[in-house]
Structures are given as structure tokens and as C-alpha cells.
Amino acid sequence: MVEVAVVRGTKPLEVTVKALRMIDTDEALSKEKPVLIKPNYINASHPFTGITTDSRVIARATYAF
């Protein structure tokens, strides 16, 4: 099972989907275990800086779960 998925790209939704597909979600997730989605949010920088998580990534990950 892949525990960490690293995917690079310029389209946040596509790279999020690719990363989630690399993880065996049936094995990693269950209804008994809660999932915490913790974005990087240090300050109000634009997501392009890499300091904050693009809100589209959070939305896509939340939809996937």
C-alpha cells in the first residue's frame, strides 16, 4: 500500500485525483476511523507560492471521502 503519494502538476484537481488513486483507500480508510484533512494555511498567500493549500485541492479531497 502506498502511504504517501506525491504528484506534481499545474492543475490542482487533476493532481489530487492522481494522488488519491495511488492510495488504496479501501485499506487505508474505514467508517470506524475518522479522516482529518489538514491543509497548509500559514497566511493569506496565493496557493501558487506553495505556502498555502489550494482550496480546490481541499474541495476535491473532501468530495473523494
Residue range(s) defining the domain that contains residue 50: 12-64
Inter-residue contact 22 to 2 (CB < 8 Å): yes
Inter-residue contact 11 to 19 (CB < 8 Å): no
Q: Looking at the domain assignment, is residue 2 inside a domain?
A: no
Is pTM, for the whole model, over 0.75?
no
Q: Looking at the domain assignment, is residue 3 inside a domain?
A: no
Inter-residue contact 29 to 35 (CB < 8 Å): yes
Total domains in the chain come to 1
Q: Looking at the domain assignment, is residue 5 inside a domain?
A: no
Residue 6 confidence (pLDDT) above 80: yes
Mean pLDDT across the chain: 75
Can you tell me the distance from the alpha carbon of 56 to that of 47, in angstroms, rounded to the nearest whole number?
10
Q: Looking at the domain assignment, is residue 60 inside a domain?
A: yes
User: Which candidate, 36, 31, 28, 7, places its Cα nearest to that of 19?
Assistant: 7
Q: So what's the pLDDT on residue 23?
A: 80
Residue 14 confidence (pLDDT) above 70: yes
